[in-house]
Amino acid sequence: MTDPTIVFVCWGNICRSPMAEIVARAYAERDEVTGVAFASAGVSAEEEGNPIDPRAVAALQRAGYEATDHRARRIAADEAKDASLLIGMEQIHLDRMRQLVPGLDDLYLLNDFNPDADPGEEMADPWYGPDEAFDDTLKAIEAAMPEIIKRARELGE
């Protein structure tokens, strides 16, 4: 039997979702959360095979995270169906996953876990903004992470 999986999803899988995956792994390791896996994917194939955006890598490294050799990929129907928890960045990501696999539940926006965000608030795509937007994205991801790690611990028990 495989570990429960939390999958972070954004458009192209080159900035927000891989950043969330990297932060989640770091928090889980720090908090000794085991028995759960973390992954990230996009709802689009347009960036497939591309590395994480260098601005995202820079923001992660400035904050002390180790950026990986991540390659963008599109989420597959089986992966979405088998995920224990799917966390999108915008409503369109959740809608696309529901189109991919009708009847999916356990779909959330990342900011649903962020106590500083309003319920249902989407996370803006930093790709379209200045370099500092990636630092803001990272801060929002980190704000949501305690609650996500709490859920991960429950899933891994």
Active site residues: 10, 16, 125
Amino acid 38 reads: F
Identify whether the C-beta of residue 109 lies closer than 8 Å to the C-beta of residue 91: yes
- Distance between CA atoms of residues 27 and 124, nearest Å: 23
Identify whether the C-beta of residue 8 lies closer than 8 Å to the C-beta of residue 24: yes
- Distance between CA atoms of residues 11 and 73, nearest Å: 10
- Distance between CA atoms of residues 45 and 32, nearest Å: 34
What tokens were used for 123? 């996370």
In order of 2, 13, 48, 50, 157, the CA distances from 110 in angstroms are 24, 14, 22, 23, 22
- Distance between CA atoms of residues 35 and 28, nearest Å: 10
